[in-house]
Structure 1
Amino acid sequence: MLNVRRLLLLAEVAERGSLTAAAAALSMTTSAASQQMSQLEREAGQPLIERLPRGVRTTAAGAALAERGRAVRRELQAAEADLEAFGHLDRGVVTLGSFPTASASLLPLALTRFRRAHPQVRTVVRAGVLAQLREMLHTGEVELSLLWDYDWNRVDDDQLTLTPLLEDPTVLVVPTSSPLVDSDRVRLSDLADQEWIIRAENHPVADVLRRACRRAGFEPRIAYASHDYQEAQAMVAAGLGLALAPRLALTNRRSDVRLLPLSPEPAAQSAREQPVGEAAPIRRILLAGSAQRAATPAAQAMARVLHTVARGFTDPGLDRSQLGAVRAR
């Protein structure tokens, strides 16, 4: 049977490309790490690493075994997190993962309500991008996490429990001086001649803009690439272009921009026309937990609060002038 500690060493070696670095990460001497690696190769019956002039690299067999080692490491970390959570239920701790737009909108309300109802429970929040949040769930660094997806990148992970919290529609951001403010119906296909503000660095909302415009039959002309939603709103207010954004991202709306809902495009008139569906892609906000571990009472209580708060963000009576004031509730 393969030795677990040696598997963990191989995983570190594969990630760091060096026996010395892997040994340091595991508080071992380089000599001891080399001996352990040689023993693992004897157990495996074949070479697992290749020595290079600088560092090492895994063989094909070593790479496959290192991936198993990473899975073992995740499970061990999750087991430690379980013990930590249940070992401190006398005072209660709930760890939650989140992403920027959720942290700036529904999460503060949820934390406030949770602390009022459960003042004895300590809350810890970890922020990250989607991949980081999923990894934190796998390792047990967080017990619950807010995640998001669109229909082309659905979160599909049998190690997680996924519960939809709300649908976050894409809205059009225009300056208050725009004639569109008084429009009863705005279609993307009517905006083909506009300039656009896009999110920089391959941000998911940049993908949303391009997909939505292409489905409406045109390629967007980009006037500016912003690094956050406040910057995007400022450029819209200055008249540089229009923007698309998920509604939750604009909870803190500037007074010199307006948020308009988009109307669906008319049905295609011929087989040559590109078919279109909803007005713009809708983002799902999800609450995720581990399918491998039972939720602590603190996590269950937090989940109930998050569901309650999320319902306030899906109020069908919410009109365009109120979108920026949800957080006041």
Structure 2
Amino acid sequence: MDTPLDVGRLRLLHEVALRGSIAAAAREVGLTPSAVSQQLSILEREAGTALLDRSPRGVLLTGAGQTLVVRARSILQVLEEARADLDRLTGELSGHVRIGTVASAAAALVSEAAIRLTTEHAALELTVTVTEPARSIDQLLNGDFDIAVVDFYDGVPVAVPDYLMATDLCTEPLVVVTAAGALPGQAELKLSELSDANWVMPPLDAACGQAVRFACRAEGFEPRVRWETDDMLLLVRAVAAGHGIAVLPRLAVADKVAEVQIRPLAQPSMSRRLLALTRSSSQDRPIIRAALDELVKSTG
């Protein structure tokens, strides 16, 4: 009689495939590397074949290991759907919700939602990690996050797998941010009028930095970037100090930490969408649904 494969050991194999090493998988599940290695050896005996090529440099999945990981992923998804079904039937609002989010949404939306959630549901545990959308989506797919709050900018496509579900939070304009009094008046500005200015910008690997640079080039000029940072508080302070101007989503302008002037951008009109992504297998869990509802309320 064939020995049945143990789901817990399949999960460990899946973690090794995701993390790239036994040590990293062990850190993720809270076991020692030797314990994980021992469990994987048992899984190989259950499978009747080698699943890992072990060497001093690390481990690689064999062909059989890769095949089994694909099946393990399907099994874990079914188990997550079963957990969602049970939670929905009981209406239980307890457990751990892990949110990955862009920084501006963390300050403007997620913080407020988190306070309401943990105040109203004492058995619910919430953790928030600030990270860029691409990494946030990867960690959502890997099961490290339950919700990923990401932003999409005009002209900067982001690949979202079909089996992730999106909840629209808001769409907001990008605005011109300058030191107080640097550009007199309140009228809308054209991007082309800012071609001779010094700029303060997020880096190119940030979606906002890409979108603004692409828009400037479409208007026929390369922005003269004098300060580059993905720290929005520092960015606004740099603008307030007169180091340059910036074009940012309105929610990203931390104007309470430094005195700046905000002007509408008329041409080209640029916007940012904020979305909350979840795995389709977990989106109906009551705690996930409650977190999504609070995020939507925060856009008020």
User: What band does the TM-score fall into relative to the shorter chain?
Assistant: 0.7 to 0.9
Residue deviations 1:206-255, cap 9 Å, x none? Answer: 21221121121111111111241111112112221111221111144444
Shift of 1:188: 0.9
- 3-state SS of paired residue (1:162): strand
Q: 1:201 to 1:67 in 2, by over 3 A?
A: farther
User: Could you say if the C-alpha distance between residues 27 and 84 of structure 1 is closer, same or farther in structure 2, counting changes exceeding 3 Å?
Assistant: farther
The alpha-carbon deviation at position 189 of structure 1 amounts to 0.9
Q: What is the TM-score with the length of structure 2 in the denominator?
A: 0.75
Would the alpha carbon gap of residues 221 and 62 (structure 1) be closer, same or farther in structure 2, given more than 3 Å must change? farther
Which residue is equivalent to 2:247?
244
User: Aligned partners of 2:232 and 2:93: how far apart in 1?
Assistant: 38
- Equivalent residue number for residue 297 of structure 2: 308
Structure-2 separation of matches of 1:93 and 1:8: 20
Larger strand percent: 2
1:291 aligned residue (260, 272, 280) = 280
Give distance in 2, aligned partners of 1:38 and 1:236: 62
Q: Matches of 1:83 and 1:119 in 2, distance apart? A: 20
**Higher RCO structure, 1 or 2 (CA under 8 Å, sep 6+):** 2
Partner of 2:80: 78
Give the partner amino acid of 1:287. A
Contact residue 204 and residue 210 of structure 2 kept, 8 A:
no
Separation of aligned partners in 1, 2:111 and 2:86: 25
- Give CA deviations for 1:185-211 in whole Å, capped at 9, x if unaligned: 311111111111122472222212211
Contact 1:144 1:288 in 2 (8 A): yes
Q: 1:165 is aligned with what amino acid?
A: L
Partner of 1:173: 177
Show the counterpart of 1:221.
Answer: 224
What does 1:187-266 correspond to in 2, within 5 Å?
Answer: 187-200=190-203, 202-264=205-267
User: Do the aligned partners of residues 207 and 306 (structure 1) sit closer, same or farther apart at CA in structure 2, a change above 3 Å counting?
Assistant: same
* Residue 279 of structure 1: how far off its partner (Å): 2.5
Report the Cα distance in structure 2 between the residues aligned to 1:88 and 1:120, rounded to whole angstroms: 17
Q: Does 1:28 align with 2:35?
A: yes
TM-score (norm: length of structure 1): 0.69
The letter for the 2-side match of 1:279 is S
Deviation at 1:104, TM superposition (A): 0.6
Structure 1 residues 300 and 32: alpha-carbon distance in aligned structure 2, compared to 1, 3 A threshold:
closer
TM-aligned CA distance change 1:175 to 1:62, over 3 Å:
farther
Q: Which residue of 2 aligns with 1:101?
A: 104
Hey, what's the Cα distance between the residues in 1 that align with 2:59 and 2:143?
Answer: 30
Please identify the structure whose Cα radius of gyration is greater: 1
**Inter-partner Cα distance in structure 1 for 2:92 and 2:36:** 40
Q: Output one character per residue of 1:54-85: Cα deviation in whole Å (capped at 9) or x when no partner.
A: 434345x3574365166247537736964895
State the alpha-carbon separation in 2 of the partners of residues 51 and 106 from structure 1.
Answer: 46
**Percentage of matched positions with identical amino acids:** 26
Per-residue CA deviations over 1:125-183 (Å, capped at 9, x if unaligned) read 322422454355446665544332234324522222212121122111101131x2415
Q: Distance between the aligned counterparts of 1:63 and 1:291, measured in 2?
A: 26
CA apart distance, 1:119: 5.6
Q: For the structure 1 residues 205 and 296, does the alpha-carbon distance in structure 2 shift closer, same or farther, using more than 3 Å as the test? A: same
What is the Cα-based RMSD across aligned positions, in Å?
4.0
Is 91-100 or 154-163 further displaced after alignment? 91-100
1:105 is displaced (CA, Å) by 0.8
Q: Which residue identity lines up with residue 169 of structure 2 in the other structure?
A: L
How many pairs does the alignment contain? 290
Partners of 1:256 and 1:29 lie apart in 2 by 54
Structure 1, gaps ≥5 residues long: 265-277, 312-329
Secondary structure in 2 matching 1:261: strand
Residue type of the alignment partner of 1:153: P
Q: 2:168 aligns with which of 164, 170, 175?
A: 164
The answer for the alignment partner of 1:324 in structure 2 is none
